[in-house]
Amino acid sequence: MNAFDIAQTLSPWTIAFAALVIVTGSIVQSGLGMGFGLMVAPLLALIDPVLVPAPTLFLGMFTATWGAWADRGIIRWGEVATASAGRFAGVAAGLLLLFWISGAAGFSLLFGIMVLVAVLLSVAGRALPFNRLSLLSMGAISGVMGTITSVGAPPLALIYHGRSPAASRATLAAFFAVGCAGSLAGLYASGLAGERDIYIALAMAPPMVFGLWLAHRFRLGFARWYRPWLLAVSGAAGLLLIVRGLS
């Protein structure tokens, strides 16, 4: 299967809507410093489940690696290592859940539940104590959620809330670059991802880069008031996925 074969399996409206979602998500990511996965993943899952989680994880790995490289001098690698240990354990748990569910309906239900958990964690906004145990545990939860949905940021946001913004952003970018790679490795090793996902990710990359370029070129951004709307859209998409899974 190649990119042309995949394009033939998706309607022009599906491709156009997916591209619009990705462009918007990239602008949101640039403006808020977060939100790409939380906004893009549930909407793409509603459009067509083949677009998640592996293709979106590829995009997340790209954006995270880009950010980590730009701020590589202030990354706290000890924190990355600790959180990544938890992440890899979470990847294993996420894969077990994916093997446990059956069919498209089961995947939609699990995906929707994980998205709602991510939204609730984001809404909570209550900082947790920052220590080795919290890094490991939140890293593990991030691994479960990230492997199933490609959305793994909310758990870590709870423990990095209130810490040095620049260093935290660089450290989290490095963590997510490593974490996305770990989730992808697990999905491919277990046979839950394949060559098709690479072609889909490549097809999704131009809209993402275009969105980042737009945000940089025209200095597009979003004020803090946009965050509730982001969470509302993600939550609504999560609920629709649950309804789809139960129907």
Residue 1's pLDDT is 56
Q: How confident is the model at residue 11 (pLDDT cuts 50, 70, 90)?
A: confident
- CA 23, distance to chain mean position in Å, is 15
Does residue 2 have a pLDDT over 90? no
Closest CA to 115 of 40, 55, 186: 40
Q: First vs last Cα of the chain: how many Å apart?
A: 31
- Residue 153 · residue 34 · CB < 8 Å: yes
Does residue 12 have a pLDDT over 90? no
- Residue 116 · residue 235 · CB < 8 Å: yes
pLDDT digit string (tens) for 128-180? Answer: 889 999 999 999 999 999 999 999 989 998 898 778 888 888 899 899 999 99
CA atoms within 13 A on the CB side of 196: 15
CA atoms within 13 A on the CB side of 69: 7
Residue 103's pLDDT is 87
What is the rounded CA–CA span in Å between residue 247 and residue 162?
42
Residue 125's pLDDT is 67
pLDDT digit string (tens) for 172-221? Answer: 989 999 999 999 999 999 999 999 999 999 989 999 999 888 887 877 66
What is the rounded CA–CA span in Å between residue 146 and residue 234?
15
Q: How confident is the model at residue 46 (pLDDT cuts 50, 70, 90)?
A: very high
Domain that holds residue 51: 3-246
Q: Alpha-carbon torsion 99, 101, 105, 109, what sign?
A: negative
Mean pLDDT of 101-117: 92
Q: What DSSP letter does each residue of 49-93 carry, written as one string? A: GGGTTHHHHHHHHHHHHHHHHHTGGG--HHHHHHHHHHHHHHHHH
Closest CA to 73 of 155, 162, 167: 167
Count of domains for the chain: 1
Residue 70's pLDDT is 83
Mean pLDDT of 115-120: 94
Does residue 247 have a pLDDT over 90? no
Tokens 């894969």 belong to residue: 95
Closest CA to 197 of 21, 61, 105: 61
Tokens 């990544």 belong to residue: 84
